[in-house]
Structure 1
Amino acid sequence: MLSDEQIAEVTAEMVPKGTPVRFQIGGQTINIMTGEKQAKGINVMYQIFYWNFTKETSSKIAQWVGAVPVFSEG
């Protein structure tokens, strides 16, 4: 889960057209605001995606929350 300071930092770095990303720990997608993990194996269309971060910002977030950034490019 991100701290208030981290949330402020990444919010300032948001862009209009980022690379869609989800953050995973052990195959479970995590909500970076609450730390809650979604059930393992749920359909990707139901997983939480974040749309307004650059790959650099997403990688920073992943490091902070101990997750792997999974990018969706297309």
Structure 2
Amino acid sequence: MSLINLVKIAEALEANISQLFDYVNDENELTDMDLLIQEIVDMLRGTSLNNIQLSRNIVKELLREPEITKRKQSNLK
């Protein structure tokens, strides 16, 4: 099978090539966190580049907030 065929299959499945080689082992079930992350990725796949960039910026700010809060608290001491 050629790389071109793999790309076509992945595109048809709306997946990336690495996902074609992933498998779920019954012994290693996905965690709740893995499932939530996968849900977010699935939502992002179905939207525009602009929305993906906006989502990234929002997530960066959400994750940065505790860092800012810690700095503010240390400055108050």
- Normalised by the size of structure 2, how large is the TM-score? 0.28
* Higher strand fraction (1 or 2): 1
- The structure showing larger relative contact order (alpha-carbon pairs under 8 Å, at least 6 residues apart) is 1
* Higher helix fraction (1 or 2): 2
Higher Rg of the two aligned structures: 2
- Normalised by the size of structure 1, how large is the TM-score? 0.28
